[in-house]
Amino acid sequence: MDRIRISGGNELRGTIPISGAKNAALPLMIASLLTSDTLTLENVPHLADVEQLLRILGNHGVDISVNGRRESQSESYARTIHFTCRTIVDTVAPYELVSKMRASFWVIGPLLAREGRARVSLPGGCAIGTRPVDLFLESLAALGAEIEIDGGYVNVTAPAGGLVGTHYTFPKVSVGATHVLLMAATLAKGTTIIDNAAREPEIVDLAKCLTAMGAEISGAGTKTITIEGVDSLHGARHRVLPDRIETGTYAMAVAMTGGDVLLQDTDASLLDNALDTLRLAGAEITQTESGLRVVRNGNGIQPVDIVTEPFPGFPTDLQAQFMALMTRSSGVSHVTETIFENRFMHVQELARLGARISLSGQMARIEGVPRLKGAPVMATDLRASVSLVIAGLAAEGETMVNRIYHLDRGFERLEEKLTRCGAVVERVSG
């Protein structure tokens, strides 16, 4: 099993290209099930989760072709991928596929809308919480779907005349359930109004793509989204937006180590709250024509309290990285996690590097220390794994991060990007 070895202490200086967003690419890929025409997606990152979803879509009958690679490039560069689903050959999403990636459950919406039925395995829990699918099923039922859970599978069936528009209010904000209801409603008869919808940029990106495919959608990015159902969707070409979580992660790495880095091809508007918080912590962040320039000011890392919230609040997907940054602050900070009930598993691993962190329920108290010291650590999930990398970049000596397959799910070419900016980071095979 691969590991990452980090020799800490170097400032980061240079340019880091920001990849297409995984959290946008996955629902966009799934949207290809809604049309028999070709959907072309540009700027698709090369990640383990993307590769897994390609296999899942192929199982449903999507023909996939990739272009945009140059001979001088490895296949890990962002790609243009063409998705064509002339006919859905199988409306079953089996356990052996869905169990490997939770977002694959989202195929339930397009399969139901286009074919009138779907049988999709329950995804189960994951390392950062149970994340039930109740909201997915309740929203589809509001469109008229009949739902039965049998043998660990969800069986959904549309009424004889197809799905029917509805006015549905989510009892709590859910990005995944908003994605699914948005896709399903595009082919429902009549008008669907989604209240308390997720407002994340990835929701807006999906709505833009669906609109290019012929959907009639308004209000994406606000709490109320309106969809006028259409008979069919057609093909389109769409570019995946920049990864705001990758942007924030590398910005925090610069704040942690010092230096001066241009985060290329990204935009501050994708994560205003997190960048404002990072400025309070001591980073200077400037939007330029080519991206974001991040420099740590001369006052060191300042303690800042955060509470994770749905967009536009501080993202839960940056919580672990920010906690790593706070381990080197000049005082005491607090991190409160409100999205997932089990997203503090990185705390014990940060402690192995010398961090002083105590937990009380969903709040962590971080007492900044003057130095961290390298040690072997183990990644527990995607965002926790990169928080250990950030800490390792500033730690004295060598840090070995184990179980980095988590990193490969969400960070494209991480070692290469950091190494080009002066970090000493290498992948160790076996």
Specify binding-site residues. 22-23, 102, 131-135, 172-175, 317, 339
Neighbour tally for 212: CB within 10 Å = 15
Q: Which of 85, 126, 209, 421 is catalytic?
A: 126
Query: What is the distance between the alpha carbons of residues 297 and 87, in angstroms, rounded to a whole number?
Result: 56
Which among 111, 107, 57, 109 has a CA at the least distance from the CA of 84?
57
Supply the DSSP symbol for 136. H
Query: What is the distance between the alpha carbons of residues 355 and 373, in angstroms, rounded to a whole number?
Result: 9
CB 328 within 8 A of CB 392: no
**If you write DSSP's letter for every residue of 211-239 in order, what string do you get?**
HHTT-EEE-BTBSEEEEE--S----EEEE
Position 145: which residue type?
A: A
Binding-site annotation: residue ranges for phosphoenolpyruvate: 22-23
Query: What is the distance between the alpha carbons of residues 125 and 310, in angstroms, rounded to a whole number?
Result: 20
As given in the structure block, the two tokens for residue 95 are 């356990």
Q: Is 85 considered catalytic here?
A: no
Binding-site annotation: residue ranges for UDP-N-acetyl-alpha-D-glucosamine: 102, 131-135, 172-175, 317, 339
Residue 356 CA: distances (Å) to CA of 284, 338, 360, 369? 26, 22, 14, 7
- Characterise 207 by phi-psi region: left (phi > 0), alpha (psi -120 to 50), beta (else): alpha
Residue numbers annotated as active site: 126
